[in-house]
């Protein structure tokens, strides 16, 4: 703890130390709760530094750089000392914090860290060899569809376990409040919306539900079943990007292309071209060998 702190700042540090001690000595539940609180405090403080930096504060920029450099470096050291602790996290993401450097030795260390932690191995996407151009609109949309369909698929697979947890939580809350074990709160009153907005939302929910139902039968994305994933994702595409997705700004280059200019059926041709590229993007995102599970 820094020396010569004003009283109000001393109290803040004292509270942080108290939370830290509870994590070390308390029950598992207390440790989890207080770790969440410590994480929230750190995140909040860094967010404020980031905002000050964005507003042009040189002092904040120095602190922001120094704090992140120090702790990202510490994270990398911890990863090398205890890779098994971090590997389950790293396998499910395509990014990992590290310090960018112009020094070749540091570049080599970062590359070795990716391999040590098996970064991205369980993401279910192509991370080897030739990869898709992630910044193109078709690939970005295809990947967003993949993420949503994967959530729908896993929600369906885990629906029974989720229902059991929900019922157990209701019973625990009801017991604490002295209510019957099977008590359920009354349904919320529907919110009245303007007819046009209500109709638009109803259509959006219908399209999402259509994708959700189709996702139930999907197997993990691979280079054999990507067409099934595209078929399941098409209603979701229309729900998220509008039915007239060909008019999105990111697809303006299609309309400017001489291939479609002046043609009576340009709209239909452009829609087909976009859908074809999104379908191909799903194939390029899929891992080269089918994932397990």
Average pLDDT rounded to a whole number, residues 6-25: 83
Question: Is pLDDT larger for residue 49 or for residue 263?
Answer: 49
**How high is the pLDDT of residue 54?**
97
pLDDT > 70: what percent of the chain?
95
Q: Are 72 and 98 in contact (CB under 8 A)?
A: yes
Distance in angstroms (rounded) separating the CA atoms of residues 204 and 212: 12
Distance in angstroms (rounded) separating the CA atoms of residues 181 and 167: 9
Question: Is pLDDT larger for residue 79 or for residue 292?
Answer: 79
Confidence grade of residue 1 (pLDDT, cut at 50, 70, 90): low
What are the pLDDT digits (tens) for 91-103? 999 999 999 999 9
Asked if pLDDT for residue 140 goes beyond 70, the answer is yes
Asked if pLDDT for residue 293 goes beyond 50, the answer is no
Dihedral angle computed from the Cα positions of residues 270, 275, 280 and 282, in that order, rounded to the nearest 10 degrees: 150
Asked if pLDDT for residue 104 goes beyond 80, the answer is yes
Q: Are 252 and 274 in contact (CB under 8 A)?
A: no
- Across the chain, mean pLDDT equals 91
**Residue 206 burial (10 A CB sphere; 0-12, 13-18, 19+):** exposed
Distance in angstroms (rounded) separating the CA atoms of residues 116 and 108: 12
Q: Are 238 and 207 in contact (CB under 8 A)?
A: yes
Question: CA 248 → CA 3, 8, 184, 205, distances in Å?
Answer: 57, 52, 44, 21
Helix/strand/coil (H, E, C) string of the chain? CCCCCCHHHHHHHHHHHHHHHHHHHCCHHHHHHHHHHHHHHHHHHHHHHHHHHHCCCHHHHHHHHHHHHHHHHHHHHHHHHCHHHHHHHHCCCCCCCCCCCCCHHHHHHHHHHHHHHCCCCCCCCCCCCCCCCCCCHHHHHHHHHHHHHHHHHHHHHCHHHHHHHHHHHHHHHHHHCCCCCCCCCCCCCCCCCCHHHHHHHHHHHHHHHHHHHHHCCCCCCCCCCHHHHHHHHHHHHHHHHCCCHHHCHHHHHHHHCCCCCCCCCHHHHHHHHHHHHHHHHHHHHCCCCCCCC
């Amino acid at each position: 703890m820094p020396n010569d702190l004003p009283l109000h700042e001393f109290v803040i540090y004292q509270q942080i130390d108290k939370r830290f001690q509870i994590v070390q000595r308390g029950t598992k539940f207390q440790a989890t709760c207080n770790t969440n609180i410590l994480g929230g405090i750190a995140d909040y403080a860094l967010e404020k530094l980031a905002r000050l930096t964005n507003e042009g504060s040189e002092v904040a920029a120095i602190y922001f750089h120094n704090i992140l450099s120090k702790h990202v470096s510490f994270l990398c050291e911890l990863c090398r000392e205890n890779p098994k602790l971090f590997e389950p996290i790293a396998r499910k993401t395509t990014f990992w914090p590290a310090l960018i450097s112009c020094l070749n030795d540091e570049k080599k260390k970062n590359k070795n860290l990716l391999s040590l932690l098996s970064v991205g191995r369980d993401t279910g996407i192509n991370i080897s060899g030739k990869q898709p151009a992630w910044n193109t609109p078709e690939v970005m949309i295809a990947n967003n569809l993949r993420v949503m369909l994967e959530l729908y698929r896993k929600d369906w697979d885990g629906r029974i376990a989720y229902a059991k947890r929900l019922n157990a939580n209701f019973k625990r809350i009801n017991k604490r409040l002295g209510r019957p074990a099977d008590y359920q709160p009354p349904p919320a009153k529907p919110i009245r919306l303007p007819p046009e907005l209500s109709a638009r939302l109803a259509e959006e929910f219908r399209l999402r539900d259509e994708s959700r139902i189709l996702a139930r039968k999907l197997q993990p994305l691979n280079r054999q079943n990507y067409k099934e994933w595209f078929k399941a994702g098409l209603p979701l595409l229309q729900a998220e990007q509008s039915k007239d997705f060909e008019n999105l700004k990111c697809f303006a280059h299609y309309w400017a292309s001489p291939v479609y200019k002046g043609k009576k059926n340009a709209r239909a041709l452009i829609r087909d071209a976009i859908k074809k590229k999104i379908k191909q993007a799903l194939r390029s995102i899929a891992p080269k060998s089918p994932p397990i599970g």
